[in-house]
């Protein structure tokens, strides 16, 4: 499960109390962000995207063996890069490669507006791993004509024709992931997880009929494409010798190299099982791997690699390819492990119905890490927190790992400006408080969301998995549940007691104000006027904020204030708001525990989907003064293997790429593993 909650870097917090700095006995901002702040984090900006850079603190302190381990794992991740493009849309690879060929070979006039629009379009494709927006899911509309592109194709002898060319300019396949039932979850989605003649009813029937162990169920359909041939449904498995086999063979090659330089036997065993899974496609092997991976907590290096998150599948079965390689942040991990050590306390003291609480929260490990490499679904747009594995029975019986991506959070925090903060904050007190406590509040909320939130709660006996019972609403409800756990506990003195929060009230207020303002207003800068909210994390945030606004209306817990023609949301009673968060948390857990689809649907549809159009227009108008783009992502530092005359690696050094385009073209040259059509 990924956490993409980055509100504190563009939003602000309102406090009722004075925001005079207090002595922090625990985590200071300096300790939390000890990196080279003369570093130039911003690389470039185009369309609605900022491209940032990040550092890898601690890399130089690694041993040579550890550096090789990081390098090989990073190469393994990049070897699967093409898979994500193809998963996102069946024509993505053909389109991307054609555009790259034009970009590299065109020798005509590059000063024209059309060429500039072409460059922007290509960069958007690179950023989104395809022709649909990485967050809004809408297809990009070129700002150049089809005739102009045809002239570029002819000038560079590029091969792009037929449907792949036409679809760039048509209304076909307009939405990558459609969650509107009326438009058809499969029919309305361009995602390449299902054959074009497969229906949502086919998917339901196929996976309902699939028999799995009821006590230890595998993640049905996680690593396959479901197709229909001659009226018969069957799965194309993503494995060596199967679909995506050429890329997977390269992943296996680098994982084999990594297995030779692991830090301990548990890591080696995990890689052995991951390789076996890629070789066979066997989901039981995937579960065995995840058990070993989740319980292998020793060592300074860790990674994520596989078909994992199901957000891109409107039916919630298919895992998108992703890879993250990470180095432990020793100081922060030691401090934040206090959360994991107290996981049972948080479960016992939550607002959940007693029958929905876990009696034994097993093995939640938490680390702050520094990213060394990312690929697939985690790049260029990256999460800031991750909690895995996703299979519920493994989490309950063997535990899970939660990580906060410290250097990514740090880069976000140091690449932004205070312009939007001053525009949308209610008053100067709020601005001051956000600047003092906002970044730490975000870090703590990420930790609570991942470590406690996703580990909390249990299903009633006999109730199916959330993807089966909640269907297309499962991801939104799970993210809302985890967010609510974090929000409920941020103002709790327990965080001060265990040494990770300097002031429960002020941290809680910072998070509450930022969350409400983001959920009701500022996240709307990411949408076109008139759009519904489609993305699961955005739906979850509006759901929580709008529900709390409505339920607290009688007591004016949250007040809508108009001043000088501008709208603000002011929290009048933080204690009552916390109670409301606890009430909603209890209800969402009940919905999941009981498999109450209709109640889950009602929550999402009534609070998370439709947008207040007057507020939306106002937000867009107020935001138009800012040049900073609403979305950010990263180019990766380049890990360069230095070899002696015999080809033996003698060092791994870190270099920053020249530009986003230079890195994307280098990746295309080094990691082209799949044909145009798969």
Q: Which of 317-331, 411-425, 528-542 has the lowest mean pLDDT?
A: 411-425
Q: Which of 169-183, 239-253, 322-336, 527-541 has the lowest mean pLDDT?
A: 322-336
Q: Is residue 673 part of a domain?
A: no
H or E element at residue 364: strand 364-376
How large is the average pLDDT for residues 185-213? 96
What is the tally of helices (H) and strands (E) in the chain?
A: 26, 15
Residue 181 scores a pLDDT above 90: no
Q: Are 50 and 628 in contact (CB under 8 A)?
A: yes
Render pLDDT for 47-75 as a digit per residue (tens, 0 to 9): 999 999 999 999 999 999 999 999 999 99
Residue 11 scores a pLDDT above 80: no
Q: How many residues does the chain have?
A: 678
Q: How many domains does the chain have?
A: 1
Whole-number percent of the chain with pLDDT over 70: 94
How large is the average pLDDT for residues 507-516? 92
Residue 21 scores a pLDDT above 80: no
Q: Which of 149-158, 425-434, 529-538, 583-592 has the lowest mean pLDDT?
A: 425-434
Residue 536 scores a pLDDT above 60: yes
Q: Is residue 129 part of a domain?
A: no
Residue 441 scores a pLDDT above 80: yes
| Distance from C-alpha of 92 to C-alpha of 113, rounded to nearest angstrom | 24
For 629-672, give the DSSP string. Answer: -SEEEEPPPEEEEEE-TTS-EEEEEEE--S-HHHHHHHHHHH--
| Distance from C-alpha of 105 to C-alpha of 678, rounded to nearest angstrom | 26
Dihedral angle of Cα 539, 542, 545, 546, to the nearest 10 degrees: -110
pLDDT band at residue 165 using 50, 70 and 90 as cut-offs? very high
Instruction: Output helix, strand, coil percentages for the chain, rounded to the nearest 5.
Output: 50, 15, 35
Dihedral angle of Cα 540, 541, 543, 549, to the nearest 10 degrees: 160
Residue 531 scores a pLDDT above 60: yes
Residue 144 scores a pLDDT above 60: yes
Render pLDDT for 370-416 as a digit per residue (tens, 0 to 9): 999 999 999 999 998 898 999 999 998 999 998 889 899 889 878 76
Residue 519 scores a pLDDT above 90: yes
Q: Is residue 89 part of a domain?
A: no
| Distance from C-alpha of 379 to C-alpha of 632, rounded to nearest angstrom | 11
Q: Is residue 462 part of a domain?
A: yes
Q: Is residue 639 part of a domain?
A: no
Q: Is residue 203 part of a domain?
A: no
| Distance from C-alpha of 671 to C-alpha of 249, rounded to nearest angstrom | 12
Is the pLDDT higher at 365 or at 21?
365
What pLDDT, on the 0 to 100 scale, is given for residue 644?
A: 95
Q: Which domain holds residue 351?
A: 2-57+329-633
| Distance from C-alpha of 638 to C-alpha of 656, rounded to nearest angstrom | 6
How large is the average pLDDT for residues 31-51? 77
How many CA atoms lie less than 13 Å away from 142 in the CB half-sphere? 24
CA diameter of the chain: 76
How large is the average pLDDT for residues 296-308? 96
Q: Are 501 and 507 in contact (CB under 8 A)?
A: yes
What pLDDT, on the 0 to 100 scale, is given for residue 416?
A: 67
Treating both helix axes as pointing N-terminal to C-terminal, what angle do 92-105 and 146-155 enclose, rounded to 10 degrees?
60
How large is the average pLDDT for residues 316-341? 88
Residue of 252, 273, 244 whose CA lies nearest to 84: 244
Treating both helix axes as pointing N-terminal to C-terminal, what angle do 474-489 and 536-551 enclose, rounded to 10 degrees?
60
What pLDDT, on the 0 to 100 scale, is given for residue 415?
A: 79
The structure tokens listed for 122 are: 């290509």
Whole-number percent of the chain with pLDDT over 90: 79
Top mean pLDDT of 363-367, 435-439, 634-638 is at 634-638
Q: How far is CA 620 from the centre of its chain?
A: 24
The structure tokens listed for 302 are: 């860790």
How large is the average pLDDT for residues 482-499? 96
pLDDT band at residue 180 using 50, 70 and 90 as cut-offs? confident
SS (H, E, C) 386-436: EEECCCHHHHHHHCEEEEEEHHHHHHHHHHCCCHHHHHHCCCHHHHHHHHH
| Distance from C-alpha of 112 to C-alpha of 102, rounded to nearest angstrom | 15
Q: Is residue 551 part of a domain?
A: yes
Mean pLDDT, the chain, integer:
91
How large is the average pLDDT for residues 432-453? 86
Q: Is residue 172 part of a domain?
A: no
How large is the average pLDDT for residues 569-574? 94
How large is the average pLDDT for residues 605-611? 97
Structure pTM?
0.79
């Amino acid at each position: 499960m990924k956490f993409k909650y980055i509100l504190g870097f563009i939003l602000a917090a309102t406090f009722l109390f004075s925001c005079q700095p207090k002595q922090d006995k625990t985590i200071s901002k300096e300790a939390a962000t000890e990196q080279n702040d003369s570093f130039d984090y911003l690389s470039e900006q185009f369309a609605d995207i900022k491209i940032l850079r990040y550092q890898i603190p601690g890399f130089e302190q690694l041993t040579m063996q550890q550096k090789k381990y990081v390098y090989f794992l990073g190469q393994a991740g990049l070897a699967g890069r093409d898979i994500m493009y193809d998963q996102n849309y069946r024509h993505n690879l053909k389109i991307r490669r054609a555009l790259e060929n034009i970009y590299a070979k065109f020798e005509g006039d590059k000063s024209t507006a059309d060429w500039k629009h072409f460059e922007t379009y290509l960069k958007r494709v690179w950023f989104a791993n395809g022709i649909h927006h990485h967050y809004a899911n809408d297809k990009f509309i070129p700002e150049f004509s089809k005739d102009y592109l045809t002239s570029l194709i002819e000038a560079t002898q590029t091969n792009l024709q037929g449907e792949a060319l036409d679809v760039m300019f048509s209304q076909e396949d307009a939405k990558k992931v459609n969650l509107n039932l009326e438009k058809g979850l499969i029919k309305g989605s361009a995602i390449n997880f299902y054959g074009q003649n497969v229906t949502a009813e086919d998917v339901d029937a196929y996976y309902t009929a699939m028999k799995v162990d009821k006590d230890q169920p595998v993640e049905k359909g996680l690593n396959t494409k479901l197709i229909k041939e001659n009226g018969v449904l069957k799965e194309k498995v993503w494995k060596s010798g199967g679909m995506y086999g050429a890329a997977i063979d390269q992943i296996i090659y680098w994982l084999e190299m990594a297995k030779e330089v692991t830090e301990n036997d548990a890591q080696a065993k995990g890689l052995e099982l991951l390789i076996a899974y890629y070789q066979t496609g066997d989901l039981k092997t995937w579960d065995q791997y995840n058990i070993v991976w989740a319980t292998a907590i020793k060592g300074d290096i860790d990674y994520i690699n596989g078909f994992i998150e199901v957000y891109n599948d409107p039916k919630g079965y298919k895992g998108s390819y992703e890879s993250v390689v990470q180095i432990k942040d020793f100081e922060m991990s030691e401090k934040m492990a206090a959360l994991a050590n107290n996981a049972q306390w948080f479960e016992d003291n939550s607002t959940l119905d007693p029958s929905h609480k876990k009696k034994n929260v097993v093995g939640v490990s938490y680390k702050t890490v520094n990213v060394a490499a990312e690929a697939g679904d985690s790049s260029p747009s990256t999460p800031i927190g991750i909690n895995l594995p996703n299979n519920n029975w493994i989490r309950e019986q063997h535990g899970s790992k939660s990580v906060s991506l410290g250097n990514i959070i740090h880069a976000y925090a140091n690449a932004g400006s205070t312009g939007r903060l001053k525009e949308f904050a209610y008053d100067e007190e709020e601005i001051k408080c956000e600047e003092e406590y906002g970044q730490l509040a975000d870090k703590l909320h990420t930790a609570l969301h991942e470590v406690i939130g996703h580990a909390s709660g249990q299903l009633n006996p006999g109730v199916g998995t959330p993807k089966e019972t909640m269907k297309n609403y499962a991801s939104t409800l799970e993210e809302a549940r985890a967010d609510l756990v974090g929000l409920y506990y941020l103002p709790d003195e327990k965080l001060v007691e265990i040494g990770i929060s300097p002031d429960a009230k002020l941290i809680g207020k910072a998070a509450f104000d930022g969350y409400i303002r983001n959920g009701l207003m500022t996240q709307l800068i990411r949408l076109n006027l008139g759009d519904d909210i489609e993305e699961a994390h955005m739906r979850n945030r509006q759901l929580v904020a709008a529900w709390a606004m409505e339920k607290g209306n009688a007591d004016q817990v949250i007040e809508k204030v108009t001043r000088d023609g501008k709208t603000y949301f002011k929290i009048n009673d933080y204690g009552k708001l916390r109670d409301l968060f606890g009430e909603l948390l209890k209800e969402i857990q009940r919905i999941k525990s009981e498999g109450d689809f209709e109640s889950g649907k009602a929550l999402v549809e009534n609070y998370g989907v439709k947008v207040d159009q007057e507020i939306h227009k106002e937000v867009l108008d107020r935001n138009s003064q800012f040049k900073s783009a609403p979305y950010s992502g990263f180019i990766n530092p380049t890990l360069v293997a230095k070899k002696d005359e015999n080809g033996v690696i003698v060092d791994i050094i870190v270099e920053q790429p020249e530009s986003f385009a230079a890195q994307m073209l280098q990746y295309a040259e080094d990691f082209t593993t799949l044909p145009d059509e798969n």
